Amino acid sequence: MRPGPPRLPWLVAAALWVAFPAQLPAQVASPATADASRSPAARLLAAARLEPQVAQFARNFGRGWSGGLNNPALPPAIRARNDRLLNEIMAEHLTAARLTSEVEAALGKMAPADAAAALEWWSSPLGARIATIDATPESPELQVAMARFVGDLQVKPLPPERVQRMTDLVATVGVGSFMRDLTRRTLEGLLAAVRASVPAGAAAPQVEQLESQLAGALDVLAVRAEQAVRLQLLYQYRDIGDAELDRYVEFARSPAGRAYTTALYGALTEGVTRAAQAFGARLVAKDEDASRT
């Protein structure tokens, strides 16, 4: 079982998991208006247009998780049970509203200077333009456009300098490490429930084998995630000039950029970990109830 992907700035790695759709740059929006009555975290959330992106993250994660749980090889009754449990867990732990609130809370813990610098960046014309692109809704048409763009690259590759800039951006924001940690924490949450449900040592060999396989798979995942993100960002940001990309990388490398990314990734990872632990515990409980009947 593997979790679905996030769909946030730079996190186009979702293409690896649930055919993450392409995003067409929308019309550039004006910088978000700073409402002095809102908290700095709320203003930063709005400026970076994170609310629709977090909502899409939740939907894609749920779809990816469902795809892993509902393996056609499983008996129909088991698949139906898994689907019911997943819907319960998503409704309790991974709603867009709850995740967005947790992201806002994490942003609120940033150092004031970092939060102010991040807000200034995302409220700038370039920051607002990138946020608008990142928050563009997905659609089948955009998936087709993305696929066509990638196919064209086989015939007419982009300049190496352009590709390197995107590689630098992907590395700077830590896409690979985020995907690795997100997947690791998800599966560890499930394994913890399994481990707690059996007598000491009874399932140790199987759990240890799963953990060993997971370690190797995570490294492969990280590399593939970075490759997928680089391809999609080459498309998403195709109308953003090299100098503008350099400014984006500069922000991402700054203390404010790193603090912003850490807060965002941390909140999403904690939410998914909580959901995985709850799902594993509930799944084990269902199995125990079934064994008694």
**Is 23 part of a structural domain of the chain?**
no
- Give the confidence band of 5 by pLDDT, cuts at 50, 70, 90: very low
Nearest to 184 by CA among 212, 152, 205, 146: 212
Q: Which amino acid is it at 177?
A: S
- Give the confidence band of 180 by pLDDT, cuts at 50, 70, 90: confident
pLDDT at residue 61 above 80?
yes
Check: CB of residue 260 under 8 Å from CB of residue 118: yes
Q: Give the tens place of pLDDT for each residue, 238-248.
A: 999 999 999 99
Q: Rounded mean pLDDT of the chain?
A: 80
Nearest to 107 by CA among 181, 174, 42, 11: 42
pLDDT at 195: 65
Q: Which amino acid is it at 66?
A: S
pLDDT at 169: 92
pLDDT at 133: 94
- Give the confidence band of 203 by pLDDT, cuts at 50, 70, 90: low
Nearest to 23 by CA among 45, 58, 64, 56: 56
**Is 200 part of a structural domain of the chain?**
yes
Check: CB of residue 278 under 8 Å from CB of residue 121: no
Q: Give the tens place of pLDDT for each residue, 74-131.
A: 788 888 888 888 899 999 999 999 999 999 999 999 999 999 999 999 999 999 999 9
Total count of domains within the chain: 1
Of the listed ranges 123-132, 177-186, 217-226, the least confidently predicted one is 217-226
The whole-number average pLDDT for the span 126-143 is: 91
**Is 11 part of a structural domain of the chain?**
no
Check: CB of residue 268 under 8 Å from CB of residue 93: no
pLDDT at 34: 45
- Give the confidence band of 293 by pLDDT, cuts at 50, 70, 90: low
Query: Domain of 273?
Result: 39-292
What value, to the nearest 5°, has the Cα angle with vertex 130 and ends 125 and 131?
95
pTM for the structure as a whole: 0.79
- Give the confidence band of 30 by pLDDT, cuts at 50, 70, 90: very low
pLDDT at residue 262 above 60?
yes
**Is 218 part of a structural domain of the chain?**
yes
**Is 1 part of a structural domain of the chain?**
no
Both tokens of 65, joined, read 């998780």
